[in-house]
Structure 1
Amino acid sequence: MIKIHIHCLATVSAVALALSLGAPASAQFAVFDPTNYAQNVMTAANTLQQINNQITSLQNEARMLINQARNLANLPYSSLQTLQQSIGETQRLLNEAQRIAYDVRQIDQIFSTQYGAAGASTSSASLIDGARQRWQNSLAAFQDAMRVQAGVVQAIDTAQSEAGALLSSSQSAVGALQASQAGNQLLALQSKQLSDVTALLASQGRAQSLELARQAQAQEQAREQMRRFIAPGQGYQPGNVAMFH
């Protein structure tokens, strides 16, 4: 009984002391835990680092998208139309070839009729007419070659201007696609120049071939005319000539 009273007395004394200090009976005293505090600080630091990593990742993705957009951007300059016009002009000059065009069937037909061997039954008037036609073929071919030459020379200024513009566009390209397109257009320009050289060689070769064919036919015709001249009863007939009356 004495122990019980003493315990009650101690309890009452503690409650009274708490009431006298103005603290509620159920109040608990906060205790600082350094270990728990350190763990909370580390958790906050790790969370902040993860957020920074996510921000950096987003920035890298944004840069990658910007670079991809630049790489996919089209070249703002195009020389396609100019090159097509220049090629079309050269093709037009070739298509306007006089008398004998660049056509295999037509060439075969004309050579079989105008450049064949002179027959014994061919009249002198036909021989002269054939020679005149072959001369006109050669003359027209040389004129065609000179027209193609003039067209190629006139296209040099255009080619230089386009090359300068494409080189400038290539140097200022902002992406792989623009640089590739500029390079492709430069290759197209070179191909166009090669086609001009091919057309020039073709026209010159055509003129030279026709002239050589004309010379060969002229030699054959000269032999035929000489044969007729010296043939008994066909060519020259001697006779008396009265020079003075």
Structure 2
Amino acid sequence: MKTRVLSVSLAAVLAGSLLVVQPATAFTVIDPTNLIQNTLTAIRTLEQINNQVRQLQNEAQMLINQARNLAGLDYNVVNRLRSTLATTERLIAEAQGLAYDVAHMDQEFARLYPHEYAASVSGDRMAQDARERWRHTLDGLHTAMRVQAQVSQNLSEDESVLADLVAQSQSAGGALQAMQATNQLLALQAKQAIQAQQLQLTQDRAASLELARQAAATERAREVRRRFLGEGTPYTPQPVRFYGN
């Protein structure tokens, strides 16, 4: 309003000065009302242009913000997670003893851990089976300890991945980058859960092999005892008199 009043006053002064300094021969009639109206129109037009410029600036900033929110995160740790997870999977694949394959494991288990030994099975065969069972138990414990050692080594890599993802999340420029960083943090958590399941699997396998070995050893001892005693009447001790005493 102050600007408009000042503009109107300047226009009035300008119109008056023109009337004063103009010689009679070059006298031009100026309508002060029309001049003031034109000046006000120019001021309004300038304000409209300024408003349009501000609107365009706001729209440009909005587009910039949208582009920032849609910008992808140029950082991916999935391959690192897969690499560390593959190490424990390789150890499980290299496991000796009873296979993790269900069909093959059933056959081996039925042979080495019978509910009872048939009479046709020789003592040598039972001794060989006992030694093989002991070796399977030892292999199961070895596999569990190898997986434990590998998981311990993977923890340092997981800590590095976690630190990198937190840094990426904190420095994310938009919503999409923050979301992608969060998704990778969830992938790290899922990887650790799978790794924990693998470790639990090998530990439970080792414990199951030992329990099965003990059960088979009990059955073998029962069969050996049965064969020693025979099928007839067991021996009954009788007193013996020596030298006629």
Q: TM-score, normalised by structure 1?
A: 0.80
Partner of 2:211 in structure 1? Answer: 212
Call closer, same or farther: CA 1:137–1:28 in 2, change over 3 Å.
same
Shift of 1:45: 2.2
Compare CA radii of gyration and give the structure with the larger one. 1
Is 1:115 aligned with 2:113? yes
Alpha-carbon separation, structure 1, partners of 2:151 and 2:28: 102
| d(CA) in 2 for partners of 1:229, 1:114 | 22
| Contiguous gaps of at least 5 residues in structure 2 | 1-22, 238-245
Distance between the aligned counterparts of 1:31 and 1:96, measured in 2? 104
The equivalent residue for 2:136 is 137
**1:56 equivalent among 48, 54, 59:** 54
What is the root-mean-square deviation in Å for CA atoms of aligned residues?
A: 2.4
Letter in 2 for 1:81: N
Q: CA deviation at 1:139?
A: 0.6
Matched, 1:183 2:179: no
Q: Structure 1 stretches (4+) deviating beyond 4 angstroms?
A: none
1:126 maps to which residue?
125
Give SS of 2:120's match.
coil
In structure 2, how many angstroms separate the alpha carbons of the residues matched to 1:39 and 1:46? 11
Q: 1:70 to 1:29 in 2, by over 3 A?
A: closer
What residue in structure 2 maps to residue 228 of structure 1?
227
* Residue equivalent to 1:12: none
Name the count of aligned residue pairs.
213
After alignment, is 92-101 or 67-76 more displaced? 67-76
Any idea what the Cα deviations from partners look like across 1:26-67, whole Å, max 9, x if unmatched? x99625242x33432332222112111111122112212222
* Letter paired with 1:128: A
**How far apart, CA to CA, are the structure 2 residues paired with 1:42 and 1:215?**
105
Counterparts of 1:33 and 1:172, CA distance in 2:
62
User: What is the aligned-residue identity percentage?
Assistant: 50
1:39 and 2:37 correspond: yes
More off after superposition, 54-63 vs 130-139 = 54-63
The amino acid across from 2:70 in the alignment is L
Q: In structure 1, what is the equivalent of residue 13 of structure 2?
A: none
Please give the secondary structure, in 1, of the residue aligned with 2:204: helix
In structure 2, C-alpha distance between the alignment counterparts of 1:68 and 1:103, rounded to whole Å: 52
C-alpha distance in structure 2 between counterparts of 1:94 and 1:147, whole Å: 9
Quote the offset at 1:99 in angstroms.
2.2
Query: Can you list the C-alpha shifts for 1:77-119, whole angstroms capped at 9, x where unaligned?
Result: 3212211111111111111111222111111111111111211
1:98 corresponding residue in structure 2: 96
- CA deviations 1:165-224 (Å, max 9, x no partner) are 111111111111111111111111111111110000000011111111111111111111
Tell me the residue number matched to 1:76.
Answer: 74
